């Protein structure tokens, strides 16, 4: 993700890079807002005709599936194979690609490497009491995702960037496992937080 909007890939200046990060952040927020609002409306509409417990159980089951996926159990989670939409990069300029890619990532489950915490966030948002909360959570989500650009290499060539990222990934093999474990922990915590909803029925 950090490579896809880097100046070494897009060829833009550092000033435009900062602008693209802003566009990316706006796209992320918009994408998360779309998914969060949809989940919110679906859950609240369903809550009008079904008991809250039934709605929470329906949300509970997919969370279990994605937690198992994060834990390394082969479960049917519909993640696409592609991470960066290269076709989009070829047909639009970098200034358009940044918000579009951000929106795709913000919506979630349109790219690879989605952690279970993302679905936990979507279901958590769905059970909030107002749409203002959905907006706030979307902003926080986008901000967390944009942090990856802070230590991003600057003024590097594509080959140099590749080497730096290869080195990071190599060191990160165990870190990646830790992230998955942490994602499982976060989602499990989300499930715990849903328990009062189930009890309150």
Partner 1 sequence: VNAIAAARRKGLADFSASLLISPYAIAGCSFGAVLLLAATQIRSPIVWVSLVAFFAGWSAAWSP
Task: List contacts with partner 1 (CB under 8 A).
Answer: 1-2, 28, 32, 105, 113-115, 117-118, 120-121, 124-125, 127-129, 133, 136-138, 140-148, 165, 169-176, 178-179, 181-186, 188-190, 192-193
Measured distance CA(156)–CA(8) in Å, rounded: 6
Of the candidates 11, 5, 48, 50, the one whose C-alpha atom is nearest the C-alpha of residue 28 is 5
CB nearer to partner 1: give 41 or 171.
Answer: 171
CB nearer to partner 1: give 13 or 140.
Answer: 140
User: Which helix (H) or strand (E) segment is 47 a member of?
Assistant: helix 14-49
CB nearer to partner 1: give 10 or 114.
Answer: 114
Residue 190 CB, nearest approach to partner 1 (Å): 6
For residues 50 and 125, is the Cβ–Cβ distance under 8 A? Answer: no
Residue 107 CB, nearest approach to partner 1 (Å): 12
For residues 121 and 132, is the Cβ–Cβ distance under 8 A? Answer: no
For residues 153 and 160, is the Cβ–Cβ distance under 8 A? Answer: yes
Residue 178 CB, nearest approach to partner 1 (Å): 4
């Amino acid at each position: 993700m950090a490579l896809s909007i880097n100046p070494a890939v897009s060829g833009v200046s550092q000033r435009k890079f900062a602008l693209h990060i802003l566009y990316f952040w706006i796209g992320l927020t918009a994408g998360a807002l779309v998914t969060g609002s949809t989940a919110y409306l679906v859950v609240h509409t369903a809550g009008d005709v079904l008991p809250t417990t039934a709605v929470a159980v329906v949300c509970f089951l997919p969370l279990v599936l994605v937690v198992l996926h994060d834990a390394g159990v082969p479960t049917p989670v519909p993640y696409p194979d592609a991470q960066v939409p290269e076709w989009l990069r070829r047909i639009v300029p970098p200034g358009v690609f940044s918000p579009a890619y951000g929106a795709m990532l913000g919506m979630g489950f349109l790219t690879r490497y989605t952690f279970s915490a993302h679905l936990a966030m979507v279901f958590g948002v769905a059970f909030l009491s107002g749409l203002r909360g959905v907006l706030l959570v979307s902003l926080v989500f986008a901000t967390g995702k944009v942090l990856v650009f802070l230590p991003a290499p600057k003024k590097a060539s594509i080959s140099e960037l590749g080497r730096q990222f290869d080195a990071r990934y190599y060191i990160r093999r165990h870190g990646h496992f830790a992230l998955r474990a942490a994602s499982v922990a976060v989602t499990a915590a989300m499930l715990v937080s849903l328990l009062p909803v189930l009890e309150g029925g």
